[in-house]
Each structure stands twice: as structure tokens, then as C-alpha cells.
Structure 1
């Protein structure tokens, strides 16, 4: 098991089949690239890692919405109008 240059942990498909829980637990919430014959077949993430990924994507989407609205014209209203 080695690390790719992108700091993604790697594991062989045989190691994953032998003991899936231990193989994934060894890397915590880091993504793990599963290799077969030295080639990446797929990636695994823990549930917490997947949730963190979802949160990051949501933050990016909300940031894009905020940026778009920052360039919109300003509409002034008073508290009474609300």
C-alpha cells in the first residue's frame, strides 16, 4: 500500500476483499484508491469522508450563488416594507 502523489491512499483489490473494514478503517476519513494490476479501479470513502465531501460541494455551490447575487442591483427597502 502506497500513497499517490495527490495524497490519496491506495490499496489493492485483494487486500480490500480480504478484510474490507480493516482496509478502509486504516485510512480514517481519507479517500482510498483501490488498485487492480496497478491501475485504479475505483475510490472508497468512509461515511464521514463522504459527508465532508458533500458539505464542501454545498459550500462551493452557495459561494457561487453569493457571488452571483453580489453583482445584482441593490434594492433598498425599509423595515416597514418587509
Structure 2
């Protein structure tokens, strides 16, 4: 059964064990698929890429919140009441 590899680069677990930082550096800031017996076991994601991913996910959550609030009824407010 073929497995999709969702990166441009892949390395074996053996390569990762020998020199983890070399494997990470070879991705040039992008994620690397780590293979076990030619199947993706996990993805090695550099810290900066992971932080960017978390920021993007936070943005998606904020967009959903804004869209939900836009569906709520507006409350009339007078500037004098503020």
C-alpha cells in the first residue's frame, strides 16, 4: 500500500539517528518526512516552521470566531450611552 509523503524531502530513521541536526538542516527550514521501512513514521519540523504553523492555526480560529460573531444580531448603541 503506497503512503503519501507530504514533503519534498525524506530521510530514514537511521539517517536521523546518525546526525539529527544534519537531517534537519538538509530541509532548509522545511519539514522532512522521516521514513521507517519506506513508510512515513513522522515529520521532522524545524522550530520556526512549527511556530508559523501554530500562528496560521490561531488565525484560522480567529477567522471562525469573527465569522460566527458576524452572524449575531447587532446591538444598537448610542454614543451618548458610552
TM exceeding 0.5? yes
Q: Which has the higher contact order (CA 8 A, sep 6+)?
A: 2
Q: Residue in 1 aligned with 2:40?
A: 40
Aligned residues: 79
> 2:17 — aligned with what?
17
Question: What is the CA RMSD across the aligned residues, in angstroms?
Answer: 1.6
Alignment partners' CA distance in 1, 2:81 and 2:10 = 58
Could you tell me which runs of 5 or more consecutive residues in structure 2 were left unpaired when the two chains were aligned: none
The equivalent of 1:51 in structure 2 is: 51
Q: Which runs of 5+ in 1 are unaligned?
A: none
Name the residue aligned to 2:63.
Answer: 63
Q: Distance in 2 between matches of 1:21 and 1:79?
A: 59
